[in-house]
Structure 1
C-alpha cells in the first residue's frame, strides 16, 4: 500500500513539474522566431523564407541581415535562433554556447562563390589567382600591371563591409594580415558594391554570386545590367581561355571555380521547433531546388526523375 502511495506521489510531482515548465511557443509548422544571415546570402535566404512561410502560413521568420560577424554574434547572444554563414563556428564561439549547455547543430547546405565584377566600360574580364594574390599583397596596384589589361588607373577593391564574409574570405585566402596599405573601399551592402562598380571604371567588386545568378528574379536582371563577371584562372599562365572559370553553378558543382565556399546554418535551438523545421526543409527536395534556382549548388542536389513512356 505504501509503495502504491509513493508511486502516486511521484507521478503527481512529475505532473506538477511539467505544468510549471515553460512550453515552447513554436514547432516546425507554427510560431515566430528570429534568424540571422550574412548579408551576402540575402537573396537565397529570402527565397527559402518566403517559400516556407507560404507552405506553413502560421509561421513567421524575422530575419536579420548583417555582416557575418554581427550575424553570428546575434545567434550567440540568443537574439537569433539560427544563423546562416559562410564559415564554421570557431572554438570560442562554440564555448559560449557550451557554457549555456547548448550543443550547436550545424549543417552545410550549399556551395557559394565570390563573384568578381567590373563595370561594362572596363573590358578586362579575366584574372588569375596569382594576380589576385598580388592585389591583396600590395605588389599589384594598377590595372596596367594585369596581363592583357586595357584599363589604366589604380585598382580599387570594393567590398560590402569591413566585417563581411566576402572580405574575410579573400583576406584568409591570400594570408593577408595587414590591410593598411591596400586600396580597399567598403560600402554598405552587396547591392551598394554593384552600384559603385557600375559607375567607377577602376573598381573591382566582390559580391556573393547569388545576388546576380537567379535569372528568373527581376531584381537579379536589374542588378546584372552594365556589369561584367570576371573569369578566374588558377594558373599564373593559362594555356587556354577555357581555364578561366566564372562562378556559374556548373563550375561550383564541379569544384573548378577557385573562389568557392561552403554555406552553413548553425542552430542553438534546444527543442524540436521552427528552426529545425526550416533546416529539414532546406535539406529536402524543395529547399534544394530553391538553392539551385538561386545559382548556388546544394549539398543535397534536387533529385529529378525522368519517366519515359513507350509508344
Structure 2
C-alpha cells in the first residue's frame, strides 16, 4: 500500500513538472516571423542577436508582402510580423472582436530610397514630378513586388489612389531593383534604406556605390533627415504579435525594442526608435 501511494505521489510530481516545462519561455522555443523583403536585413540581424543571447530560441522566417503578412498574423499562422505600418481600421476590427490585448511595437526609423543608374542625368525629383511619373509620363518606376511596403508607402505619401500600371515594374526583389536600374538609365528604383545603410557591411556598401541615390524635394535620405522626418519617404518599422504569453515572440519584441536590439538597428545604419543613452569619459591625461 505504501509503495502504491509513493508511486502515486511521484506521478503527480512528475506530471506537474511536465506541465511547468511546457509553459512559454523567452529562453527557448521556436516561432514564425514574417517580414516585408525590404526590411529583411534588419530582422535577420535582430533574430541572430536574440539567438546569441538565448541559444535555445529558434526562428522560422518568411518573406512576403506586408498585406499577406498581416493576413497570416490575423489567422494565427504567424507569431510575429515586421512591417512598416500600423494595422488599419479593418484589421483592428478583427483584433478587437477577438478581445486581444494588442500593442504595436515601433523599433526603428527607415525610409524608401530612390535610386537610378550611376550615369543618369537625374539628381533629384520633386513630389509633383513623381506623381506625373505614376501617370505614365516618362520613366519606368521599379519596385520589388507589386504589393510591397515600398510601393504602398510611396503611394500613401503621394496621396495616389490609382496609377498607370504600365508605369510600374515589379522586379521581383530589392536586389533585382538594383540590377534593373544598373541596366536601364531611364529607370528609377525604390528600395528600403536599410539595404544600403550599413557602412560596415561590404555588400551594403557595394550596393550603395553601384547606383546613384536621388534626393526628393531637394532632401537626400540620411539618418539625420530620417530622424528629423524631413525626408518625404521616411517611415517607422513595427513589430506586431497577437501572442499574450511571455514566450519567444514577446521576448524577441522586448529584445528588439530595448538596448540590445536598438544597438543592432543603429549598427545597421538605421535610426533606433528609442534613444540609446551614451556615456563618455573625458580626461586631460595623455593616452598611454
Answer whether TM exceeds 0.5 for this pair: yes
- Does structure 2 conserve the Cα–Cα contact (< 8 Å) formed by 1:248 and 1:295? no
Structure 2: runs of 5 or more not aligned: 1-12
- Does structure 2 conserve the Cα–Cα contact (< 8 Å) formed by 1:25 and 1:31? no
* Superposed displacement of residue 297, structure 1: 1.2
Equivalences for 1:196-211 in 2 at 5 Å?
196-211=180-195
Are residue 286 (structure 1) and residue 274 (structure 2) matched?
Answer: no
Alignment counterpart, residue 79 of structure 2, candidates 74, 78, 81? 81
Q: TM-score, normalised by structure 2?
A: 0.87
CA RMSD of the aligned region, Å? 2.2
Alignment counterpart, residue 239 of structure 2, candidates 253, 262, 265? 265
Counterpart Cα distance in 2 of 1:25 and 1:156:
53
Distance change in 2, residues 1:83/1:118 (3 Å): same
Equivalences for 1:127-276 in 2 at 5 Å?
127-136=125-134, 138=135, 141-142=137-138, 155-180=139-164, 182-233=166-217, 244-276=218-250
Distance change in 2, residues 1:24/1:86 (3 Å): farther
SS in 2 for 1:105: coil
Counterpart Cα distance in 1 of 2:93 and 2:222:
37
Counterpart Cα distance in 1 of 2:18 and 2:51:
31
Distance change in 2, residues 1:98/1:19 (3 Å): farther
Moved segments of 4+, more than 4 Å: 18-25
Counterpart Cα distance in 1 of 2:206 and 2:222:
18
The residue aligned with 1:240 is none
- Does structure 1 conserve the Cα–Cα contact (< 8 Å) formed by 2:24 and 2:245? no
The residue aligned with 2:7 is none
The residue aligned with 2:5 is none
* Superposed displacement of residue 96, structure 1: 2.5
Number of residue pairs matched by the alignment: 271
